[in-house]
Amino acid sequence: MKTNRKEFIKTSLLAGTAIGFNACKFDSKTRPTSIVTNKPIVISTWRFGLQANAAAWEILKNGGKAIDAVEAGVKVPEADANERSVGLGGRPDRDGIVSLDACIMDELGNIGSVVCLENIKHAISVARAIMEKTPHVMLAGQGAYQFALSQGFQKENLLLPESEKEWKEWLVHNQYKPIANIENHDTIGMLALDESGNLSGACTTSGMAFKMRGRVGDSPIIGAGLYVDNEIGAATATGHGEEVIRIAGSSLVVELMRQGLKPEEACKEAVMRVVKLMERRNKNLKDIQVGFIALNKLGEHGAYCVQSGFNFAIQSKEQKELIDAPFYLKV
């Protein structure tokens, strides 16, 4: 994989830690005997993915299910008040209200999604409850909140003093111009392949900081912010949701893998679609960031993004690492 590695944590020095993976096992006569899958494995977006992966790994290493692993994993930043873009402590919209978006998808094609959820920090678990306990796939706003309360979720004020202070400072200039900055753009998207060879994914965010009230990005939209096809692979996105939705990003990455592309190649091709549509609309690419991560059925992974700054975390038996994603815009 062609990646810059400015920072990394290694748990072991097994040969070939780059991916720690061979597609084929060879016998003494060097005839391929079987496909070796790199499993279990979990990957997720951004630096906080390291901690989130660790929680997911506790489930995966004991033979647990990918769907349980991704939910448990992304709940870590959701509950962390210091993470300012997910769950508790997330930055508010421009009216000062924290609203969360999330979705989850399992190996069977079960999906659950919640948008504009207020006062409940574990949006991912609400999405899962929608998946498992309703005949629907998506609930929004007040209805989603009522449903969550009915399921025993606790009401909680998600706007913490630091976020409120930042919002008040933002109000002084009140420029409605989303900026490509990892400081106010962070979504956790997580993909896991479990010991049984099943894939699942989860994605959760407070969305773009100081967004318009009611604005929904890609993160809770199956096909845009997340997609899983248990025959092929899974993908998730981060960055400017509008641009990800425009190309049906995560679904596209999975379809590209179906056509034979490796995860990094598929992510790169999806980013190139973003680039093309930005150019066609005469928009400045420097103003946006979009990043994809992908995991295929063999446990191979990859990522690609528009501009530098995006990284993703991997955990498997052989790897525990944060990797800088390769990027398009070289300036």
Nearer to ligand SD4, 163 or 205 (CB): 205
Q: How many Cβ atoms from other residues are within 10 Å of residue 3's Cβ?
A: 18
Q: Does 65 bind ligand SD4 (CB under 6 A)?
A: no
Q: Is 238 in the site for ligand SD4 (CB under 6 A)?
A: yes
Cβ atoms of 62 and 40 within 8 Å: the answer is no
Query: Nearest approach, Cβ of 270 to ligand SD4 (angstroms)?
Result: 14
Contact 206, 93 (CB under 8 A): no
- 92 contributes a contact to ligand SD4 by CB under 6 A: no
Which residue number, 45 or 315, has a Cβ lying nearer to ligand SD4?
45
- The answer to the question of residue 236 lying near ligand SD4 (CB under 6 A) is no
Q: Does 207 bind ligand SD4 (CB under 6 A)?
A: yes
Site mask for ligand SD4 (CB under 6 A), range 127-146, x = bound: --------------------
Report the C-alpha gap between 209 and 119 in whole angstroms: 17
55 neighbors 73 (Cβ within 8 angstroms): yes
Nearer to ligand SD4, 77 or 299 (CB): 77
**Contact indicator for 65, 108 with CB cutoff of 8 Å:** no
CB of 194 to ligand SD4, least distance (A): 25
Which member of 3, 187, 204, 236 is catalytic? 187
Whether the CB-CB separation of 85 and 185 falls below 8 Å is answered with yes
Q: Is 194 in the site for ligand SD4 (CB under 6 A)?
A: no
Q: Residue count at the site for ligand SD4 (CB under 6 A)?
A: 13
For residues 219 and 231, the answer to whether their CB atoms sit within 8 Å is: no
Q: Is beta strand 301-307 parallel, antiparallel or unpaired with respect to 327-329? A: parallel
Shortest gap between Cβ of 61 and ligand SD4 (angstroms)?
28
- By C-beta, is 59 or 226 nearer to ligand SD4? 226
Helix H segments across 48-174?
49-60, 66-79, 123-133, 141-150, 161-173
| Options 78, 186, 229, 318; binder of ligand SD4; rule CB under 6 A | 186
Q: Which of 83, 93, 107, 218 binds ligand SD4 (CB under 6 A)?
A: 218
CA distance 232 to 10: 28
Distance linking the first and last C-alpha atoms of the chain: 22
Nearer to ligand SD4, 40 or 241 (CB): 241
Nearest approach, Cβ of 197 to ligand SD4 (angstroms)?
Answer: 29
Please give the DSSP secondary-structure letter assigned to residue 286.
G
Residue 302, both tokens: 């990859």
Q: What is the DSSP string of 86-136?
A: SSTT----TTS---EEEEEE-TTS-EEEEEEE-S-S-HHHHHHHHHHHSS-
> Catalytic: 238?
no
Using CB under 6 A as the binding rule, whether residue 223 contacts ligand SD4 is answered as no
**How many C-alpha atoms does 221 have within 13 Å on its Cβ side?**
21
**Of positions 40, 201, 239, 302, contacts ligand SD4 by CB under 6 A:** 239
Binding site for ligand SD4 (CB under 6 A): 185-187, 205, 207-208, 217-219, 238-241
Catalytic residues: 187
